[in-house]
Amino acid sequence: MSTDIAADPAAMAAGTEHDRAGPIKLLMSVGYAVLGMALLLLFWWIGGLMVQNNPATMAFADFAPAPALDRLADMLASGEAAAMTVPSLERVLMGMAIAIAIGVPIGILVGRVAVLREITNIPFQFLRMISPLSWMPIAVMAFATWEGAIVFLIAVAAVWPILFSTAAGLRRIDPSWFKVARNLGARPWHMLLVIILPAISQDILTGIRLALGVAWIVLVPAEYLGVTSGLGYAINDARDTLEYDRLAATVVIIGVIGFLLDFACQQAISKLSWHRED
């Protein structure tokens, strides 16, 4: 039977078409990505020409792609780009670690305990809608160093997506899973490690991805707080010294790193999630 199926021309043709579809789909995705980036560069170039040809804005002509990309190449070659990036990544990772350590446990409790969910719903929604940068004066007063204040602002910005995504994921778990686990003698730690965490892994990772995007956006204005390193400081310094090519190059660095961080989270979701399709 298996020999007949393997020798079936129709089955072989279908398999060949399936094998061809993979590379074609990959090439189409790459082509669309290249087209999108080409359009972005085109709009950037047109905008640079408009700025350069306008007497009122010609002082900002170094925002154009050519001087910005030339300066970016110099920054990469000299190590300046790495020197400004490392402190920012450290602050973001520290803030994210704090947000995960707070958001995941509280999210599990809120999603599991109905009374706690009702009590915390309005306060959490109220706090979530406050801009993280609004906490800047409090952060400056509460922390002895600028580093601590920046990490605090990043953690405040990142905790809510993780918390709410975790709670929502836990509420979607089938209650019968817990009943079966209790009937089998599972203890609370067993339920947490064997049922809850695997079941909500997709939601936790999605919340972390959203939180990382928010944290990366908050990072730049947060680094205006008196520090002398980081991407935000580099932008502020370039603005003060009127080095608009360096400013534009730093913006490109921020965009590239943010894209890579989001891509890494996306890959983690697809690889580690138990919902993925093989």
In tens, the pLDDT along 233-271 reads 899 888 888 888 899 999 999 999 999 999 988 888 887
In tens, the pLDDT along 46-64 reads 887 787 777 777 777 777 8
Residue that wins the pLDDT comparison between 161 and 199: 161
Q: What is the pLDDT of residue 8?
A: 56
In tens, the pLDDT along 179-202 reads 777 777 767 777 777 777 787 888
DSSP string, 138-202: HHHHH-SSHHHHHHHHHHHHHHHHHHHHHHHHHHTS-HHHHHHHHHTT--HHHIIIIIIHHHTHH
- Select, from the ranges 11-15, 210-214, 272-276, the one with the highest average predicted confidence (pLDDT): 210-214
Q: What is the pLDDT of residue 208?
A: 93
Q: What is the pLDDT of residue 31?
A: 82
Neighbours of 211 (CB within 10 A): 26
- Select, from the ranges 35-44, 227-236, 248-257, the one with the highest average predicted confidence (pLDDT): 248-257
Token duo for residue 1: 């039977």
Residue that wins the pLDDT comparison between 32 and 212: 212
Q: What is the pLDDT of residue 10?
A: 52
Would the pLDDT of 33 be above 90?
Answer: no
In tens, the pLDDT along 58-81 reads 777 777 888 888 999 999 999 899
Residue found under tokens 């020409």: 49
Closest CA to 88 of 224, 205, 211: 224
Lowest mean pLDDT, pick from 32-36, 88-92, 165-169? 32-36
In tens, the pLDDT along 106-128 reads 999 998 888 998 999 999 999 99
| Distance between start and end Cα atoms, the chain | 26
Would the pLDDT of 38 be above 70?
Answer: yes
What does the DSSP 8-state code read for residue 224? T
Chain-centroid distance, C-alpha 232: 17
Would the pLDDT of 170 be above 90?
Answer: no
Instruction: Report how far residue 73's alpha carbon sits from residue 87's, in angstroms, rounded to the nearest whole number.
Output: 20
Task: Count helices and strands (H / E) in the chain.
Answer: 13, 0
Instruction: Report how far residue 187's alpha carbon sits from residue 193's, in angstroms, rounded to the nearest whole number.
Output: 10
The rounded mean pLDDT for the chain is 83
Q: Give residue 276's pLDDT band: very low, low, confident or very high (50, 70, 90).
A: very low
